[in-house]
């Protein structure tokens, strides 16, 4: 793994998405997830879900946004990825390594693929939780 990818992994490993998101919105624990009203659009009922096991979040409401801790902070603070990574890295006491353009392009392509997979997984997770399959 390149030093840049290792830095991203180290920052993520030192953060808990529930703690980070909880610093912006009031999360309510419901089973293995945390719910809140989405901070990205106006709504009456909570449709914003944070999955502590996968360290991801998803809005099942109007904006249908989702992602990891970086995506949340980028959207909340209107930061680009590099700024979010730098600020979250600073928060956990890490400094980013110098990165070349080729490794940046590979990382962004992998990250987009992982984000798309998480949206699909969240869709199926919501379906299972709403059916009899998700009940023990």
Domains of the chain: 3-134 (3.90.580.10)
Residue 8's nearest CA partner among 106, 136, 77, 78 is 106
Per-residue pLDDT band at 100 (split at 50, 70, 90): low
d(CA 23, CA 97): 27
With residues binned 3-state (H G I as helix, E B as strand, rest as coil), the percentages for the chain, rounded to 5, are: 50, 10, 35
pLDDT tens digits along 1-33: 568 788 999 999 999 999 999 999 999 999 999
CA 21/CA 69 separation, integer angstroms: 8
What local confidence, expressed as pLDDT, does residue 57 receive? 97
């Amino acid at each position: 793994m390149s030093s840049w990818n290792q830095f991203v992994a180290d920052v993520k490993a030192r953060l808990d998405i529930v703690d980070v998101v909880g610093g912006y919105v009031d999360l309510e624990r419901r089973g293995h997830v945390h719910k809140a009203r989405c901070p990205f659009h106006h709504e009456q009922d909570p449709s914003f879900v944070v999955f502590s096991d996968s360290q991801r979040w998803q809005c099942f409401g109007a904006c249908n946004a989702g992602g990891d801790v970086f995506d949340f902070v980028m959207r909340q603070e209107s930061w680009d990825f590099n700024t979010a990574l730098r600020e979250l890295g600073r928060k956990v006491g890490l400094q980013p390594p110098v990165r070349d353009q080729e490794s940046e392009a590979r990382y962004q392509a992998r990250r987009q693929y992982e984000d798309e997979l998480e949206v699909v997984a969240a869709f199926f997770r919501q379906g299972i939780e709403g059916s009899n399959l998700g009940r023990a």
